[in-house]
Amino acid sequence: MRKGTKKAVALEYDGSEAPSVIASAQGKLAEKIIEIARMHNVPLYEDADLAEALSLLKVGEKIPENLFKAVAEVFGYCYWINEKLKNKLDATF
């Protein structure tokens, strides 16, 4: 794999178990994942090192314990962004 190849990993968390990988790709397919996420207003978080580590997991695989802290930071960021957007929308109406 070429250094600098874009990677994207989509995660799912239902609150009951560890988050799991629901999509993973590199190159043009990674760009498509990002495009679809943007179309659906899914918050994006860029971290090349974390994407590299998560890309080693298979789709459907749970996040290993050694990545819990990093993934928790991502979810915290996403919840913060969602709340910020919700407050902005509430203020508009």
In a domain, 1, yes or no: no
26-85, pLDDT tens digit by residue? 999 999 999 999 999 888 889 999 999 999 999 999 999 999 999 988 888 877 877 776
Predicted TM-score (pTM) of the model is 0.76
In a domain, 75, yes or no: yes
Q: How many domains would you assign to the chain?
A: 1
What Rg do the C-alpha atoms of the chain give, in angstroms?
Answer: 14
17: domain CATH number?
Answer: 3.40.1690.10
pLDDT of the residue at 52: 94
Mean pLDDT confidence for 1-25? 86
Contact by Cβ (8 Å): 10, 54: no
Domain range enclosing 58? 7-92
In a domain, 2, yes or no: no
